[in-house]
Structure 1
Amino acid sequence: MFEKVKYMLSIFSIIIMFFTFEDVYANSQLPTFEEKFTEGGYKSVEEAVKEFEIILIVK
């Protein structure tokens, strides 16, 4: 009986694999490192220096 269950599970898993395919497309334009890091809150050195200078001037 265990062999029959094992056989049926393998057939079932193969059928599931064939019916669950999805199309995947690659993005042809890769973002630059600076664009990617700005999404996460990264600031360039120039921006950080300008912001720091503005804070010093205001105080």
Structure 2
Amino acid sequence: MEYSYSKVTKFNSNLFSFRFSFFSTGIAYLLYFYLKKNVGPTRTVSVTLLVPIFGMIF
């Protein structure tokens, strides 16, 4: 059975993109709940704006 290189590459890149985006969004949400607990909800509202930024950076 022969595999197409383009199909394997596409699958690997999609898998990497999914894992990478899941990891970075997870970090942002952990930061959100940590700040909510330690700083309070009023100051933590600004973190909701950081979630998309972390998603794009990482």
Larger proportion of helix: 2
Structure of greater Rg: 1
* TM-score (normalizing by structure 2): 0.40
